[in-house]
Each structure stands twice: as C-alpha cells, then as structure tokens.
Amino acid sequence: MSCPGTSIRIDDCSLWVVERGPEDGFPLIVLHGGPGLDHHEFADYLDPVCDEGVRLLLVDLRAQGRSEPTPSSTWTLERMAQDVIMLALALKLRRYAVLGHSYGAFVALQNAVDYPGQAVATVVSGGVASVRDLDGVTDALEAFEPVELREQVASSWERESSVTRPNEVERLLHDQMPFHFRDPRDPRIAEYERRSAGAVYAPEVLRHFATAEYGGIELEERLVEVTQPMLVLAGRHDRVCPAEASERMARLLPRAELHVFEESAHMTFVEEPERYLEVLRGFLARSR
C-alpha cells in the first residue's frame, strides 16, 4: 500500500517517512525488515492502531527505499539505531515508541540498548539478541517441506550475495516467503504480496549484509541496560528468529512483556493480524 511520504533531513542524510494516523497522535516509529526492503513491508496491516490515537511513522532505513544513499561504511546496526534518535529530534518528538520487525527488530533492539529510555517503549517483533540465534536456520531449511519449495528457498539465499537489480530482490523475496509462514502454501502469501506492492528495493544493501551476518547483532549481555518497557513478539513456528530466542530475550530484559503467536511463523502480523493488533494496542496503551 503506497502513501505520500516526506524526506526528513537528519545528520548525514535524509530518511523517507510515510505518516498515517492523526497528526497529534502518539508517534510510533516503525522500522522495516530486510535488509534491502522499505516501509511497504508493513502494507496497511498496522493501520488500525491509528484509530486508537497512534501516529504511524513508517521509515525507510538509511540507503533503502526512498531514503538518501549513504556510504556503505555507515550501513551498521549502530548507525541505523542512531538514526532513530536523530529522526525523533528532527521531528521534535518529545515522546514516542519504536517498533521493528525482523531486521528492523535488530535496529529497534540496538536503539533500546544504546539509548535506554529515549523511547517511551520498544517493540521487538520477530528478532533476536545474538547472531548465534540464527544458527538453526540451516537445519530448519533441511527439514522444510515440500522439497520443491525447500530448493526454491535455498536457491534464493545463494543469490542474495550477488543480487544487482531491484527486480531481483523482489523475486528473491517471493521465493523466500513460503519459508516465513507456518503454512508454506498459505493463501495469505499472495494477499500479502498484493497489499505490500510498490517497494523500492536496495540490492546493494542486501548484497552487503548477506556477506556480513546481517549486521552481526550481539546484544544479549547488554539487555540489562534497557530501561523502557519492551514488548517481545515471536511466532512459535518461526524458522529464522526462533521463539526460544525471544523467550530468552524477554527473561533478560528488565521490563519486558512477551507474546508468542502460536499459529504463526515469522510473519506474525500477517498470519494472526487481529491478535497482533490486540497485543500491540494493549502494550502501547499501558506504556504511553
């Protein structure tokens, strides 16, 4: 779902931000996954929270989507976490929350660790605190059925490190999507692709992170430093960011709430949308 956006200047670049909801609503900065995607990942699935007085700020992370290109030396979790702070300053947000999904969850968690208490609350959706939590992906793929989809996903992963064109990224995502749903043939995959169409993909960013352990997140020992309320969301059948990693993360965070979606894999907000929104609404209401 495409909407008009605005280019917001931070320190060394401009970030593309799409706003939805009331202008005077409580700001929720939303960080997409990938790397190499943009705000279209969320389509309109989060829009119903706007009815509760929430102002969605859907951000294209640096060098991705319609955000300004930057040197690859700045493509780090630490710098993207700092971008959240700089964006809040540029928009003059006194109070706000942050939500990140998948790779965006890595950025949101890095932000919470590096800048504790700057956000009123943080939501980590489908993320991990340590790169070692991703070690089980290979085993999960070997057990993935049906075989033809297993081969499709494996082939797409191999192509990530050599992708050069935006349409190639789009094809990779299409090939990988069955792996991210509990049911690899879930009819909602096609619906999701339709609702999230229009993304501007960044093949160079995906290629960069495909050879760099997707940012090399390693924050488990620093989780005790986080001071704000945290909502940790996980899919019980997630083959990429396992629910066990989220459960351990929630135990280590001082002020965490955990919710595991029992009928979902990685795409929780698509697989159980009503429950996802219910949990998110409740957390934001308590935190703000």
Q: What are the tens digits of pLDDT across the range 140-149?
A: 999 999 999 9
Q: What would the pLDDT profile of 92-140 be if each residue is shown by its tens digit?
A: 999 999 999 999 999 999 999 999 999 999 999 999 999 999 999 999 9
The reply to whether the predicted model has a pTM over 0.85 is yes
Q: What is the pLDDT of residue 163?
A: 96
Q: What is the pLDDT of residue 110?
A: 98
* Average pLDDT, integer, range 230-239: 98
Q: What is the pLDDT of residue 216?
A: 79
Contact 65, 202 (CB under 8 A): yes
* Total tally of structural domains belonging to the chain: 1
Helix (H) / strand (E) element for 206: namely helix 203-210
Q: What is the pLDDT of residue 106?
A: 97
Contact 270, 125 (CB under 8 A): no
Q: What is the pLDDT of residue 228?
A: 98
The pLDDT confidence band at residue 215, using thresholds 50, 70 and 90, is low
Q: What would the pLDDT profile of 28-71 be if each residue is shown by its tens digit?
A: 999 999 999 999 999 999 999 999 999 999 999 999 999 999 99
φ, ψ for residue 121, nearest 5 deg: -160, 160
Q: What is the pLDDT of residue 4?
A: 82
Tokens describing residue 181: 């749903």
Tell me the pLDDT of the chain averaged across its residues. Answer: 96
Q: What is the pLDDT of residue 211?
A: 81
Residue 255 has pLDDT above 80, yes or no: yes
The pLDDT confidence band at residue 214, using thresholds 50, 70 and 90, is low
Q: Which amino acid is at 195?
A: R
Residue 2 has pLDDT above 60, yes or no: no
Domain residue limits at 117: 5-287
Q: What is the pLDDT of residue 288?
A: 83
CATH of the domain at 187: 3.40.50.1820
Tokens describing residue 152: 């499709």
Other CB atoms closer than 10 Å to residue 94's CB: what's the count?
7
CA distance 32 to 53: 21
φ, ψ for residue 33, nearest 5 deg: -90, -160
